Structure 1
Amino acid sequence: MRLAVFGDIHGNLPAFEAALNDIRGQSPDALLCLGDVAAMGAWPRECIQLLASLDCPVVLGNADEDMLEPRPFEVRGFPDEREIYDLDEWGRAQLTEVEIGLLKGYKPTVELSGLLAFHGSPEQCRESIGAATSDERLAELRATFGTHAVWVGGHTHAPLLRTLNGWRLLNPGSVGLTFEKRGGRYVNTSRAEYLILDGDDVQFRRAGYDVKAVQAGILERRMPYAEWWAGAWVAG
């Protein structure tokens, strides 16, 4: 089965549309979404609705969970955490009962033939697993959640292919919120990331999109800290 795997859309409709256009050119047999669909972007409703139209399995991400069960703000020592919290609250306020109902249909994990999909980890959508995760922690998780040949998760926004004792851990990166450090600050770049999994073959792909469309959407929809948030987006 030729499978297109994507996630961490984060309400970025231009990025989502660009990724889907590129995915169609790859002629996959099936699609799989790893969650975090709406939060932080100017198009939360539209992204949830577009994803629903694809009729594919969707994993529940931590940002999706927060839209269903809002958490009070708390200081954790992360950069821009007050601003990000308010962006999430704005996005949640845009949703209707229709979108809330769709979010409730997302699953903690999804199992396909030989594959286990999740957002952060199969145990907790907020846990980050990746290149630095210890073999011991991965062994603990596999003892609980099964020894599928392929595990695929999101959350870190960092593409990953890690091979361990005959199985693989994958991350497609992020569709709508890729970021990198430039000039001493983090910026969001205009590339939508996903992967194609076809048997043993893994293809990491990127689709470019118009960063000005994202900036315009942020400003026109009067998101919190709109000037600051729009300024965090760069081409490339």
Structure 2
Amino acid sequence: MKLAVISDIHGNLLALQAVLADIARQGVDATVNLGDILSGPMQPAETADLLMAQDFPTIKGNHERQLLALLGQPEGDIDAATPDGYAATQVSEAHAAWISALPAVLELNADVWLCHGTPGSDLQYWMETVVPGFGQSGSPGVRAATAEEVADRLGSASHPVVLCGHTHVPRMVQSGGVLVVNPGSVGLPAFDDDHPYPHVVENGAPHARYAVLEKNRQGWRVELRAVPYDHLAQARVAARNQFPDWAHALATGFALRPA
């Protein structure tokens, strides 16, 4: 079995197209999508159209949940200056129906289980831990999770492979009998957040990320792939739409930090 894993596209159509072209050369049996699909200041509707046509096994991320909540509000109450709000002004009723029907978690088969954040929460980082002290001695406010933290967040998940996204960081950790794999983000290589403490997540390069997993006699072979695309064009789109933080992240792979 050979599987491509995409996640955290965030409406970045050019990055998605580049990744799908790369996947087409890998000879995979299936492609799965771990959520956070449309929210962002680029091409949410076009991204939805492409993925709906592909019909990959797909789950919701936290941004699908948040986007659907916004779509239930009066149009005048939607703030288009936020990633979810921008997407809410662009998507159609058909797009909303598609994401509404997506499950939050999914058992792909006896080997592979899909979630967005952790088995217990679409907002929890799995292989990273947010800590106080952002900016002190250059601290990004986030560190690699310990083996104990990874195991604790596993909960009752017991499939040999559990796939997650959310942090945008491509990583893999073996936790007991479970291999946890995050393919990284197709569409956004860096971001900042304030919860539970201020922090930044940065991959340091603007490439679109995804993973290829292949089962053989020895176990699972995992390849974390980084695909170049016209990231500067997407940075210009984000800048035109008044998202300077996204523009900087897309152009550089680093978060836009306060001066």
TM-score of Structure 1 vs Structure 2, range by shorter chain:
0.7 to 0.9
The secondary structure found in structure 2 opposite 1:20 is: helix
2:115 aligned partner, one-letter code: F
1:69-88 pair list within 5 angstroms: 69-70=69-70, 86-88=82-84
> For the Cα contact (< 8 Å) 2:207–2:227, is it kept in 1?
yes
Residue 174 of structure 1 corresponds to: 185
In structure 2, the CA distance between the partners of 1:133 and 1:112, relative to structure 1 (3 Å rule), is farther
- Structure 1 CA distance for aligned equivalents of residues 125 and 94 of structure 2: 30
1:152 aligned partner, one-letter code: L
In structure 2, the CA distance between the partners of 1:57 and 1:160, relative to structure 1 (3 Å rule), is same
Q: Does 1:214 align with 2:251?
A: no
Residue 10 of structure 1 corresponds to: 10
1:157-196 pair list within 5 angstroms: 157-179=168-190, 189-196=205-212
- Structure 2 CA distance for aligned equivalents of residues 213 and 85 of structure 1: 20
> For the Cα contact (< 8 Å) 1:180–1:189, is it kept in 2?
no
Residue 79 of structure 1 corresponds to: none
Residue 80 of structure 1 corresponds to: none
In structure 2, the CA distance between the partners of 1:228 and 1:9, relative to structure 1 (3 Å rule), is closer
The answer to which of 128-137 and 116-125 deviates more is: 128-137
1:97-112 pair list within 5 angstroms: 97-112=93-108
Residue 113 of structure 2 corresponds to: 116
> Among 194, 202, 211, which residue is 2:222 paired with?
202
- 1:128 deviation in Å? 1.2
- TM superposition score normalised by structure 2: 0.75
> Among 141, 144, 150, which residue is 2:161 paired with?
150
The secondary structure found in structure 2 opposite 1:48 is: helix
- TM superposition score normalised by structure 1: 0.82
- 1:135 deviation in Å? 2.9
> For the Cα contact (< 8 Å) 1:193–1:207, is it kept in 2?
yes
- Structure 2 CA distance for aligned equivalents of residues 140 and 211 of structure 1: 34
Aligned-pair Cα RMSD in Å: 2.8
- Structure 2 CA distance for aligned equivalents of residues 95 and 62 of structure 1: 17
> For the Cα contact (< 8 Å) 1:59–1:106, is it kept in 2?
yes
2:86 aligned partner, one-letter code: W
- Structure 2 CA distance for aligned equivalents of residues 103 and 185 of structure 1: 26
Task: Kindly tell me the number of residue pairs found equivalent between the two proteins.
Answer: 218
1:218-233 pair list within 5 angstroms: 218-219=238-239, 222-223=240-241, 225-226=242-243, 229-233=246-250
- Structure 2 CA distance for aligned equivalents of residues 15 and 96 of structure 1: 22
In structure 2, the CA distance between the partners of 1:160 and 1:99, relative to structure 1 (3 Å rule), is same
- Structure 2 CA distance for aligned equivalents of residues 5 and 153 of structure 1: 9
Structure with the bigger RCO (C-alpha within 8 Å, sep 6+) is: 1
Structure 1 unmatched ranges of 5 or more: 72-82
In structure 2, the CA distance between the partners of 1:189 and 1:98, relative to structure 1 (3 Å rule), is farther
The secondary structure found in structure 2 opposite 1:70 is: helix
The answer to which of 132-141 and 210-219 deviates more is: 132-141
> For the Cα contact (< 8 Å) 1:8–1:154, is it kept in 2?
yes
